[in-house]
Structure 1
């Protein structure tokens, strides 16, 4: 735990390295000191082909959606989401579209979260 899902609009996919964005997101979570053990962090990038931004302008986005077990205060969530935006935004190269880089943290109900570790070979 936590789960970091970074959605991005496909119109800007050539403007960043997906592996670098995943690594930056993971590093931001690791350096926050909020999550332990380190291997509990899961990061995934998800392309969004069909989307619309407000007026229909050709804007792009990267949105980091952080799901974490409930119980953390607002200040902690804000510190982590701010760190995510600061880590990801510099990785987007210049291009023709405006790009919105955003992050949000949501609580996952601690009482309902299930997990099982399956050992590797």
Structure 2
């Protein structure tokens, strides 16, 4: 854990590659000190069509799905750190948002074959 799902407008490709978004979010999660690097899973989904708050401004929204049990302070620090990592990319005219979502430990299943 966590699963970092990054949604972004594909027009961002003019400013940077999706892999840069993935690496920024991944590093922000790692820098939180809450997770081992081997446990962080990051992926990106691009959207060709979007409307954002009355405009077609570019966006990046990172959802960090973590197992339940973290304090509100830990979750706030995690979201702030990932947001700072995204802001550090120097993107212009963009909406950056980060959401931390608890996953119930009792309901999470994983299998590696």
SS, match of residue 115 in structure 1: coil
Q: What is the number of residues matched between the two proteins?
A: 113
Instruction: State whether residues 9 and 47 of structure 1, in contact with CA within 8 Å, keep that contact through their aligned partners in structure 2.
Output: yes
SS, match of residue 87 in structure 1: helix
Instruction: State whether residues 15 and 92 of structure 1, in contact with CA within 8 Å, keep that contact through their aligned partners in structure 2.
Output: no
Residue 61 (structure 2) aligns with: 63
For the residues of structure 2 that align with 1:4 and 1:93, how far apart are their CA atoms?
Answer: 20
| Cα drift, residue 29 of structure 1 | 1.3
Q: 1:10-25 maps to which residues of 2 (within 5 A)?
A: 10-25=10-25
Q: Which of 84, 95, 99 is the matching residue for 2:94?
A: 99
| Cα drift, residue 92 of structure 1 | 4.1
SS, match of residue 91 in structure 1: coil
For the residues of structure 1 that align with 2:16 and 2:87, how far apart are their CA atoms?
Answer: 10
TM-score when scaled to structure 2?
0.91
Residue 112 (structure 2) aligns with: 117
Instruction: State whether residues 7 and 46 of structure 2, in contact with CA within 8 Å, keep that contact through their aligned partners in structure 1.
Output: yes
Unaligned runs of at least 5 residues, structure 1? none
Instruction: State whether residues 28 and 87 of structure 1, in contact with CA within 8 Å, keep that contact through their aligned partners in structure 2.
Output: yes
Moved over 2 A (4+): none
| Cα drift, residue 15 of structure 1 | 1.3
Q: 1:8-87 maps to which residues of 2 (within 5 A)?
A: 8-36=8-36, 38-55=37-54, 57-87=55-85
For the residues of structure 2 that align with 1:12 and 1:20, how far apart are their CA atoms?
Answer: 11
| Cα drift, residue 112 of structure 1 | 0.5
Instruction: State whether residues 2 and 40 of structure 1, in contact with CA within 8 Å, keep that contact through their aligned partners in structure 2.
Output: yes
